[in-house]
Amino acid sequence: MGHYTANLRDIEFNLFEVLGRDEILGQGPYADLDPDTAREMLKEMARLAENELAESFADADRNPPVYDPVTQVVTMPESFKKSYEAYRNSGFWSVDTPAELGGTVAPPSFRWAMNEMVLGANPAIAMFNASYGFATLLHRYGTPDQQKLARWIVEKDWHCTMVLTEPDAGSDVGAGRTKAIDNGDGTWRIEGVKRFITSAESDMVDNVVHFVLARPEGAGPGTKGLSLFILTKYDVDLETGELGERNGVYVTNVEKKMGLKVSTTCELTFGGEKPAIGTLYGDVHDGIAQMFHVIEHARMLVGTKAIATLSAGYLNARDYAKDRVQGADMTQMTDKAAPRVTITHHPDVRRSLMLQKAYAEGLRALVLFTASQQDAVDMAARAAGTEKLERGTPGELASRVNDLLLPIVKGLGSERAWVLLGTESLQTLGGSGFLQEYPIEQYVRDAKIDTLYEGTTAIQGMDFFFRKIIKDQAESLGVIAGQIQELAKDAGTHGGALDREKELLGEGLESVQGILGYMVGELMKSDPRAEGGDVANLYKVGQNTTRFLLAAGDLVVGWLLLRQAEVALDALAGEVSEKDRDFYTGKVAAAKFFARQVFPRLAAERAMAEATDNELMDVPESAF
């Protein structure tokens, strides 16, 4: 058994006891996946993740892929190849694939529950297997030939890549200079260099399909001038799937990284020795909108990866603390003859473990609650026979709520996981946590990238405020705020067991709304057309977008924990096993702890936001 333990009990609790996903399984579009089958698949995925997938986690870090600059070939660790093949042979990849391509029709919430376990056990396996999501997009939106290519991606397990970043442009995607030249025969020649491209090369598959943003000659500047092109490493006979000539796209470097080493992060050069030839995705010039289908999936994946790693870190820390004997009980510290106790008896260790538990389980709830919005969108689209749902309908509103929550999943998930893994999970093990004998030091290194991948936390904060709230006129935000307010006012239930926590939830909501109100006010004052308007007020907004994202995220996590606590209290009122009694008791304890320890901080965040001025922006660059 490897480093990883799946929290299967909590995953099932979220899916079936809190979110009621058993009510949509076995019927409608998900008729072939009944609740019993889903539970068996989750159980088998947990077994696979804890064993075959987790087995290569440490070895692939110590013996990472080797890049040969002469042959431009990447040799993967043998242990990782074995784990990768085990996942491929399991057939579980099929839940990420449309039925038309041989997949299993499953609700997104179930898919993300399955994906969490792969991402926790060995995240690079899930990242290489993201190809199935790419194939789905080709199948849905591609030209007839591109739809044929999608079938071969699935059948032959070819890797796929999302190719945005350029060395000079970085996160400013619109500054990209990679260009596309129309060959006049339905194909395009791509020229340029891209950087930080995940899964662009390995010796596990014989072909790679690249989704490349490039600017057609004569197109305008910025992101609006970009189009999306499909290129393959080798030409493909679309009728037989046979490979042909080598295309002119080459991996010219593989980065040496702090962590997540077995996931190849590559520099791609288009053109040079021979032309790099591709086709226009969907035969339409709508690159950035098309790429956002990929980006949004990737942001959900990165957030889930971070959260899965935090769960693994917490469970490792918890198990170590239950075994580690050190010191006497605090109430007997002056008694030199007092018996030594496990460190779970020490108050600060308990504080640390409960903080880890609350965030690990609260963030899992966030992922699966977000995925349940995707369920609603998926069912509505299938019922309507179109993905373009009429504005204001339940499915369309669920789509916007999902969009609102994605930067929280990615931004809050990655930030809280990275910090807690280093300051709490590793710390629980003391000096041993710094050693490679235990997996947490690798978790810390592997998790840092999650705050940077697919848009840094600052970018997530900007997206959350400007696109998901202001552009949406706060409609989707109002849906979530309304549900939070409803729970906050629901006093007296369960014998008043959660009344104080609900009061704190209401105060937290006021604090987050106060931050938002301040930022909206400064945004309005930045309009130079308004009396006294000064565009420099935008700087005050910019200083608080990350603060607002994380504060709103903590509020949502705490709300979800309190929802879970109510379900747990209902269960405890009946007949339950001793094991389940411990589980439900832990749920109530985590929600109470979070409400009392985290919600009060939101008032401080509001005070800091409202104290913002632009003195910071006036400090000369030379003074830093």
The pair of three-digit structure tokens given for residue 452, joined into one six-digit string:
């940077």
In Å, the largest CA–CA distance within the chain is 88
DSSP letter string over 12-29?
Answer: HIIIIIIS-GGGTTTSGG
**Active-site entry in 454, 501, 566, 605:** 454
Return d(Cα 591, Cα 581) in angstroms, integer: 16
**What's the burial of 187, exposed, middle or buried (CB within 10 Å: 0-12/13-18/19+)?**
middle
| One-letter amino acid of 600 | P
* 3-class DSSP state of 384: helix
Contact 139, 153 (CB under 8 A): no
DSSP letter string over 156-189?
Answer: HT-EEEEE---TTTTT-GGG---EEEE-SSS-EE
The pair of three-digit structure tokens given for residue 249, joined into one six-digit string:
């796209």
Which neighbouring-strand residues pair with 75?
66
Question: How many C-beta atoms lie closer than 10 Å to residue 325's C-beta?
Answer: 10
DSSP letter string over 297-351?
Answer: HHHHHHHHHHHHHHHHHHHHHHHHHHH-EEEE-GGGTT-TTSPEEEGGGSHHHHH
Q: What is the separation of C-alpha 550 from the centre of its chain, rounded to a whole number of angstroms?
A: 15
Q: What is the separation of C-alpha 156 from the centre of its chain, rounded to a whole number of angstroms?
A: 26
| One-letter amino acid of 349 | V
Helix (H) or strand (E) holding 588: helix 578-597
Across the chain, how many H-helices and E-strands are there?
Answer: 22, 14
Contact 371, 108 (CB under 8 A): yes
CA–CA distances in Å: residue 119 to residues 69, 87, 228, 360, 465:
30, 12, 28, 14, 29
- Selection from 361, 328, 363, 359 nearest residue 346 by Cα: 328
The pair of three-digit structure tokens given for residue 306, joined into one six-digit string:
């971070």
Compute the C-alpha angle 506/507/509, nearest 5°: 65
Q: Is 166 a catalytic residue?
A: no
Signed CA dihedral, 162, 166, 172, 177: sign only: negative
**In residues, how long is the chain?**
624
Burial 252-291 (b: 16+ CB within 10 A, else e): eebeebebbbbbbbbbbbbbeeebbbbbbbbeebebbebb
The pair of three-digit structure tokens given for residue 443, joined into one six-digit string:
């978790």
Give the residue ranges of DSSP H helices in 196-286.
Answer: none
| Catalytically annotated residues | 454
